[in-house]
Chain A
Amino acid sequence: GAGVSQSPSNKVTEKGKDVELRCDPISGHTALYWYRQRLGQGLEFLIYFQGNSAPDKSGLPSDRFSAERTGESVSTLTIQRTQQEDSAVYLCASSERGTGGALEQYFGPGTRLTVT
């Protein structure tokens, strides 16, 4: 079946502009996660959705970052007033469920964001 997809694959934006990144999880996966990966670094957790609620937003770096999810499908990560330090690859992952027994997370290809 189809894996996790993300769009756009690449985004170049000017400092101060807002951007929206999209994630389509694997059909039937109720848990969805956003991570950020800076160049040459590990993955940083941003936010986790179970269904359309977000029980853990602890990784969002500032109030410029927000995310929402429609039902158990598409999620968008919005970064307002982008800064150069926001440049990174933003990865989305999904799994069959979240708490109560962690299951395998499958990653999308990521969105490479460059803020100039």
Chain B
Amino acid sequence: GENVEQHPSTLSVQEGDSAVIKCTYSDSASNYFPWYKQELGKRPQLIIDIRSNVGEKKDQRIAVTLNKTAKHFSLHITETQPEDSAVYFCAASIWGKLIFGQGTELSVKP
């Protein structure tokens, strides 16, 4: 079945630095790749997504890139702020259902 691998599991950066989280997926039929941010005890919140016909998408300090050939996609956060600290999940969608990575705990130190 579909599998999504996410790295790193933890990431610590200084405020103002960039953070990069990488995911790979196994099923080439996947066509939708969302990223969710989950703060402690809260529900996952969609922060950005990309579809398989696009290679890159940017929204202010957040960008996502997709390499369909290599079956990997990445989240880039620039100018990190303490409020970016959370667990980030990537996911790949096949026929609607989302298959999630295991999450990256991002810590932004002031």
> A25: CB under 8 A from chain B?
no
A residues within 8 A CB of B98?
33, 35, 43, 45, 93, 105
Q: How many residues belonging to A are interface residues under a CB distance threshold of 8 Å?
A: 26
Residues of B within 8 Å of A93, CB to CB, are 98
Q: A48-B96, A48-B97, A105-B98 are in contact. List 11 more A-B contacts (CB 8 A).
A: A33-B96, A35-B100, A43-B44, A43-B100, A45-B97, A45-B99, A56-B96, A56-B97, A91-B43, A104-B34, A107-B36
A2 interface residue (CB < 8 Å to B):
no
> Quick one: closest B residue to A33, CB to CB?
B97
- Pairwise interchain contact A107-B99, C-beta atoms closer than 8 A: no
Q: Is the CB of B46 within 8 A of A102?
A: no
Q: Flag B16-57 by CB within 8 Å of A: 1 or 0 each.
A: 000000000000000110101000001111100100000000
A58 to B99, CA, bound (A): 12
What are 20 A-B contacts defined by CB distance under 8 Å?
Answer: A33-B98, A35-B98, A41-B102, A42-B101, A43-B100, A45-B97, A45-B99, A56-B96, A91-B43, A91-B44, A93-B98, A95-B96, A98-B95, A99-B95, A99-B96, A102-B31, A104-B34, A105-B46, A105-B98, A107-B45
Our count of residue pairs bridging A and B at CB distance below 8 angstroms stands at: 60
User: Quick check: is A113 within 8 A (CB to CB) of the other chain?
Assistant: no
B-side interface residues, number (CB < 8 Å):
24
Nearest CB of chain B from residue A67's CB, rounded to whole Å: 13
Q: List B contacts of A109 (CB < 8 A).
A: 42-43
> What is the interface of chain B, defined by CB distance below 8 A to chain A?
1, 6, 31-32, 34, 36, 42-46, 49, 89, 91, 93, 95-103
Residues of A within 8 A of B103 (CB): 41-42
Q: Which of A42, A48, A104 contacts B89 (CB 8 A)?
A: A42
The smallest beta-carbon distance between B28 and chain A, in angstroms, is 15
Q: Which residues of B contact A91 (CB under 8 A)?
A: 43-44
A102 near B43 with CB under 8 A, answer no
Task: Give the 9 A-B CB pairs with smallest separation, nearest first.
Answer: A98-B96, A102-B32, A102-B93, A42-B100, A107-B43, A43-B100, A42-B102, A99-B95, A45-B97
Q: Mark A100-112, 1 if CB is under 8 A from B, else 0.
A: 0010111111100
